[in-house]
Amino acid sequence: MGQLFGTFQGPNYAQSLPPELWQHCLSFLAVEDLLAVSSTCLSFHFICKRMLFRHITTTIPYKRTVRHIFQPRYGDVARIGRARRLLHRIHALQSDNDAQEVLGLVETWSIRTFGSPAPLEAADIMQYAIDCLPFVQSSTSIFLILPSCINLRMLSISDIYMGEEQWSALVKIPQLECLNMERCNLTYGGEVMKLKVVSIIHEAHHDPPLVLPPTTQLISSLFNLRHLERLTLLDLTFSNSFLIGLAQVGQFENLKHLSVVVPETHMDTMFTFLSRTPSITSLTISNFSTMAEPSMPVSQFVVPNLVAYDGFPTLLPILLPGRPISTVRLRMNHRTDPQASLGDPFGVYDNNVICKALNDCSTSTRVVHDLMLSPFHPTPDSMQDIVRIHPDLRHLRLDILRTPNINMGVDVDEPMSRIMDMLADTMEAQSSDNISNHPLFLISGFLNWIANGHLPLPTKLETLHLHYYQKSETVCGNTAKQRLLVPKISAAYPALHEIEMGTTRWWREGDRWSHEVLTRTQL
């Protein structure tokens, strides 16, 4: 440290390391600290400038927000100041000639809105002191800046009305490869874009957006036959329209990853589309899909290179035989009734269903080494089935069902989340030594039973990930108890080197186990 400190005192300490090493070291700093470092010398100014402007997030104010700025009702000084600063930044990017250099550094840009989803038009601006703040413009203004970003490769858009002006700006971005759109109204399609990654998410399953379904022009513009490599299509209202349109466009030679929600009666449409995607290696069927099987036989030549499947077990007998699938993630929450509520998607759930699904996984031409079951009600029989059918498993993820098994009956009048929280509070403090005392099975009890030899694991298992089903963040904070259980589990399963329980992770280096608390659940 003394030598390093002495180096820092020299006049050219910024040149003592290559710029890429400084960039790695400084990448751990917060934005405020990067700004401070950038003002220390010219070398750090250039290094930090590239880091500060590589990723940009812009929040566009809408009508109600702008009214709140000029006519505050609640005296929210902090919020008003934040909104004003956002408007000033947009103005600076539009009017400052030096901004061209900054825009050239941007690689990823996220644009979202706050306030009511009604754009501020020119007629609305006039009543808000336009002479004082001429930069208060409609949401299209930020899109006019994007074509100047010569290195922009990934653009994320949320809650934006995508009209003709917005699309015209997108097609002019020279290096754009990835486009993510969430809750956006899509009403126009311009020229064909050379996108490699496209994600469309709109979970409006209750009230469909007040726009027409996607047109053929829009589909042709977004989904390039020659360039598209990854497609996420989770639009609960118009996925059927997208699937029909995609199946008619042509053959997607380079599409490798597909994540899609399949509406009722459109399973045949999905397989028609799959027949035009010979390079697909990863297929995900969303939880919001209706469980169904294709009405027509599926050819063995459909997705011949598939190596990863994430979806309902009903498609296992169709997709796995003859294909080299080694990663399987099974969604066991069947929605057998198309009219069933999305919040209560369960169908038949028992150990026989799991056992059959595990057997179906064995029909792959490659040994399954990565398995996920969600939801999963752990019992000695179900764990023994995993070990017996897949003894060579390397990675296992289980989303523990914290409610009673569906066949045990649940009071439907009581909100499920309330039942989960009440029982979690009372069960966490109890002993987990006797499974018969537990109407629910918690992760603490699951670890206890593995450590005591009551629940088996595959002998070659390397990583074990445990989460609670339908919990965005799983917190298992009893570190003292885990510190006693983890070495016992490690002794029984020497290949195991990582155990993750939501925000808690244990990993082994040699004979020593270390512990960390993750900032968010790793999915």
User: How many Cβ atoms are within 10 Å of 112's Cβ, its own excluded?
Assistant: 15
| Nearest CA among 294, 172, 277, 184 for reference residue 231 | 277
How confident is the model at residue 260, as a pLDDT? 93
What is the pLDDT confidence band of residue 13, given thresholds at 50, 70 and 90?
Answer: low
What whole-number distance in Å separates Cα of residue 273 and Cα of residue 257?
Answer: 13
What whole-number distance in Å separates Cα of residue 249 and Cα of residue 261?
Answer: 19
Average pLDDT over residues 63-77: 54
How confident is the model at residue 16, as a pLDDT? 66
| Whether the Cβ atoms of residue 228 and residue 252 lie closer than 8 Å to each other | yes
| pLDDT at position 9 over 50 | no
Bridge partner residues of 143 (DSSP): none
157-172: pLDDT as tens digits: 988 878 788 888 899 9
Average pLDDT over residues 76-105: 68
How confident is the model at residue 96, as a pLDDT? 66
What is the pLDDT confidence band of residue 62, given thresholds at 50, 70 and 90?
Answer: low
| pLDDT at position 326 over 50 | yes
| Whether the Cβ atoms of residue 114 and residue 62 lie closer than 8 Å to each other | yes
User: How many Cβ atoms are within 10 Å of 76's Cβ, its own excluded?
Assistant: 12
How confident is the model at residue 384, as a pLDDT? 93
Cis check for the bond before 313: say yes or no (omega within 30 of 0): no
User: Tokens in use for 45?
Assistant: 């100014």
Average pLDDT over residues 12-26: 70
Q: Which helix (H) or strand (E) covers residue 501, if one does?
A: strand 498-501
Choose between 258 and 100: higher pLDDT: 258
169-214: pLDDT as tens digits: 899 999 999 999 998 878 776 788 999 999 999 876 555 556 677 8
HEC assignment per residue over 297-316: CCCCCCCCCCCEEEECHHHH
CA angle 415, 421, 424 (to 5 degrees): 135
| Whether the Cβ atoms of residue 497 and residue 462 lie closer than 8 Å to each other | yes
| pLDDT at position 457 over 80 | yes
User: Tokens in use for 382?
Assistant: 């179900």
Question: CA separation (Å) from 418 to 400, 424, 445?
Answer: 17, 10, 21
| Nearest CA among 56, 74, 55 for reference residue 64 | 74
What whole-number distance in Å separates Cα of residue 481 and Cα of residue 347?
Answer: 36
- State the residue for tokens 């030679």: 253
Q: Say if residue 478 is exposed, middle or buried (CB neighbours under 10 Å; 0-12, 13-18, 19+).
A: middle
Where do the domains of the chain lie, and which CATH numbers do they carry?
15-52 (1.20.1280.50)
Average pLDDT over residues 64-84: 57
Could you tell me the end-to-end alpha-carbon distance of the chain, in angstroms, rounded to an integer? 38
| pLDDT at position 523 over 60 | no
